[in-house]
Amino acid sequence: MSSADAAWLHMDRPTNLMVINAVLLFDEPLDSERLRRTIESRLVERYPRFRKRVVESRLPLLAPSFEDDKDFALEHHIHHWALPAPGDDGALRELIGDMMTTPLDRSKPLWHVYVLDNYGSGCAVIVRMHHCIADGIALGRVMLSLTDSSRRAGIEGARSTGEAVDGDGPLRSISRPLMGAVELGRRAGQTIVKQGLDVAAHPRHAGELVGEIARDAATVVKLVMTPADQASAIKGEPGISRRVTWTDPLSLALVKRIARDHDATVNDVLLAAVSGALRHYLKARGGSAPEIQALVPFNLRPLDEPVPRELGNRFGLVFLPLPVGTSGSYRRLLAVHRRMDAIKSSREGPVSYGILEAIGMTPTGIERRVVDMFSGKGTAVMTNVPGPRKTIYLAGAPVRTVLFWGPTSGHVGMSVAIFSYRGEVTVGLMVDARLVPDPDRIIGRVEKELDALAALAATSRQHGPRGRSRGPARERAEGRPS
């Protein structure tokens, strides 16, 4: 097991399990036997980690390993349940929240699939996989590899949609910076050795290399020095119970039009809407609405290459300050856009991955303290995954909606996950039930925030070139509290 994978394995706590939870909703029942054959051929046989269990080393400082489960059987991992009455979204939300607090059995491979009958006229499928198997982007592509582009596609030789993820979406003291600096220094040293001949032949490259190392060191210091978010109605010591909810499907065309009219990206618009929803919730709870830090996964794996059979984690985490304290819908969008641009041009993603690798090589006690320090800086995890543009089919049944929630580590108690699929966008929210007992109040505000941005865009089109004027609509948006 790589040190990065080991880090995610050891982050498990009763209050925060490192399990990625995904849900697929259907308007018709599934063929259980066809689903079993699909999982066997496209998941278990294709990716060895799904038939391996985790074994901890008996020697200190040595990483855990994946070993074949000699008693592996699909029936240990595929379960057929009935959703409790009344079989609606409310019952499903309650069940998912309860499942999120249930640890995976480490004597077996760390994944499970649950087929739930009695969900309206159809069914729901819940997939739970431990983060040590792979990162969310990789697991998303693995799950899509189980699906087909048509209802009649068979298992043998069927063309799956597994690689059809389109778009680019979107942790002691300062004197001893995390041991991540040590790892980065080691990597820098290796880079120097590998490029030694080139530097000798082209001395100007030496200056460029030194500049890269200096920038990475400065990034480490920045990550360490980022102040922790203050306590609020959505930030505090998390408990064990979880609650989940999600929006109705939102029009992706509307979100794209808002982004185009404001010279922003789809991700900017959605994050601005979430920021506005959090602002209104905090103010409604009678508190202030401070700026908060979101932990945003930064994919480091090329999307145009197949997912490797060994899977694993290959991403970094970056801090995105969400403008929750900013009034005005347009001001929030502008702030998100500016901050996202800064992240895209920074080294925070690769450097944080190096830090994560270093964390995975430390004793558990030190690892826990480092994770606590970094997670204390943030309030929520924000993930945006672009999915297929057309309908996909699992075991012959069309998938209506895809939902997922990334895990939260340490002191973080909120996860926001955005997934786009066949022209629609769904925003999923997972919260600590003690801190946020009423998550529907947050999720219900997201659509209103999008409507406000759409209205601003429509007005601005009447006052000059699209997305570039500073007409009355924008000035009113900047000056109007909301």
pLDDT in tens, 265-300: 999 999 999 999 999 999 999 877 888 889 888 777
Q: How crowded is the C-beta side of 363, counted as CA atoms within 13 Å?
A: 4
Per residue in 74-107, pLDDT (tens digit) is: 999 999 999 999 999 999 999 999 999 999 999 9
Contact 454, 438 (CB under 8 A): no
What is the residue-averaged pLDDT of the chain? Answer: 80
Would you say 281 and 477 are in contact if contact means Cβ atoms under 8 Å apart? no
Burial of 244 (0-12, 13-18, 19+ CB in 10 A): buried
The per-residue pLDDT for 475 is 37
In percent, the amount of the chain with pLDDT more than 70 equals: 73
Torsion angle, alpha carbons of 368, 370, 373, 377, to 10 = -110
Confidence of residue 378 (pLDDT cuts 50, 70, 90): confident
Over range 40-45, report the average pLDDT: 96
Instruction: Tell me what pLDDT residue 220 has.
Output: 57
What's the rounded mean pLDDT across residues 314-327? 87
| pLDDT at residue 63 in the model | 82
Mean pLDDT for 15-40 is: 95
Q: What is the pLDDT of residue 217?
A: 61
Indicate the SS3 state at residue 428. strand
Question: Any idea what DSSP says for residue 332?
Answer: H
Q: Domain 3-144 - what CATH class? A: alpha beta
Residue 185's alpha-carbon distances to 197, 200, 210, in angstroms, are 20, 21, 12
pLDDT at 187: 46
Q: According to the model, what pLDDT value does residue 82 have?
A: 96
Q: Which of 325, 255, 238 is nearest to 289 (CA)?
A: 325
Q: Which of 104-113, 117-126, 177-186 has the lowest mean pLDDT?
A: 177-186
Is the predicted pLDDT of residue 474 greater than 90, yes or no? no
Q: Which two tokens stand for residue 70?
A: 């000699």
CA pair distance 163, 428, nearest whole angstrom: 23
Show the tokens assigned to 435: 């801190």
pLDDT over 80 at 364, yes or no: no
pTM: 0.81
Model confidence at 433: pLDDT above 80: yes
Share of the chain above pLDDT 90, in %: 51
Is 13's pLDDT higher than 90? Answer: no
Of the ranges 66-80, 342-356, 418-432, which one carries the lowest mean pLDDT score? 342-356
Which tops the pLDDT comparison, 391 or 228? Answer: 391
Residue 465, Cβ neighbours under 10 Å: how many?
9
In this predicted structure, the answer to whether residue 141 has a pLDDT above a threshold of 70 is: yes
Q: Give the strand pairing for 414-421 and 424-432.
A: antiparallel
Residues 6+ apart with CB under 8 A from 283: 289
Is the pLDDT reported for residue 366 higher than 70?
no
Most confident of 55-59, 267-271, 463-467: 267-271
The amino acid sitting at 51 is R
Q: Which residues contact 216 (CB under 8 A, 6 or more apart)?
A: 184, 188, 347, 350, 351, 354
Reading phi first (left if > 0) and then psi (alpha if -120 to 50, else beta), residue 423 is in left
Rounded to a whole number of angstroms, the distance between the first and last alpha carbons of the chain is 48
State yes or no: pLDDT of 477 exceeds 70: no
| Range 424-437 average pLDDT | 95
> CA–CA distance from 355 to each of 161, 205, 220, 313 (Å)?
33, 26, 8, 13
State how far the Cα of 424 lies from the Cα of 415, in Å rounded to an integer: 20
* Least confident segment among 4-8, 196-200, 269-273: 196-200
Q: Please, are residues 267 and 169 in contact by the beta-carbon 8 Å criterion?
A: yes
Min mean pLDDT across 65-69, 182-186, 302-306 is at 182-186
Do 294 and 380 touch, CB atoms closer than 8 A? Answer: yes
Task: For residues 51-56, give the mean pLDDT.
Answer: 95
pLDDT for 429 equals: 97
Q: Which residue has the higher pLDDT, 375 or 159?
A: 375
Mean pLDDT (whole number) for 299-318: 81
Sequence-distant (≥ 6) Cβ neighbours of residue 434 within 8 angstroms: 238, 239, 241
Pairing outcome for strands 250-251 and 393-394: unpaired
Q: Which residues of 23-54 are buried (b: 16+ CB within 10 A; e: fewer)?
A: bbbbeeebeeeebbbbbbebbbebbebbbbbb
Sequence ranges of the domains in the chain: 3-144, 230-386+409-479
Report, at the CATH architecture level, how domain 230-386+409-479 is classified.
2-Layer Sandwich (3.30)
How many whole angstroms separate alpha carbon 259 and alpha carbon 265? Answer: 5
Same fold, 3-144 and 230-386+409-479: yes
